[in-house]
A = this chain, B = another copy of it.
């Protein structure tokens, strides 16, 4: 999960999707199936998505043109629905237990170009156009700073 310790992100509040009514009682991982939501995730997608025991799926985020792997974040059905319908990458924060729209406060928005599930439907790949740095440290990607040595 990204930005869990970044003060700015503590203000990165949920961004209600225009098409979805949100109430705390029926949203977020662990909530009951939202039968009454006007616009839930497409049932054909929801039916094949395989979530972990918290109702989440890892989302790998890649810069669409350079191929850089920018970060990994987590989505529930609602976050995926918002991402697909708004074109703005939206995740579930496991630490804050709320949705966050990437770049909402920092300006480092991710414009979504392409979304795919993997062959087991338990991982999501997002190809995005990343504005500025993807990482809260200011690095372009979250994988720039901590390289491990591999045996030759």
Contact = CB atoms under 8 A, between A and B. Distances in A.
Interface of A: 1-2, 4-5, 45, 48, 58, 60, 62, 66-69, 71-72, 83-87, 112-123, 125, 135-137, 139, 142-152
Given A58-B58, A60-B60, A123-B142, A71 B150 contact: no
Given A62-B69, A142-B123, A149 B118 contact: no
What does DSSP make chain A's interface, helix, strand, loop or mixed?
loop
B119 A137 contact: yes
A84 B120 CA distance: 26
9 contacts: A4-B120, A60-B72, A71-B123, A72-B118, A115-B148, A116-B143, A118-B142, A119-B146, A120-B142
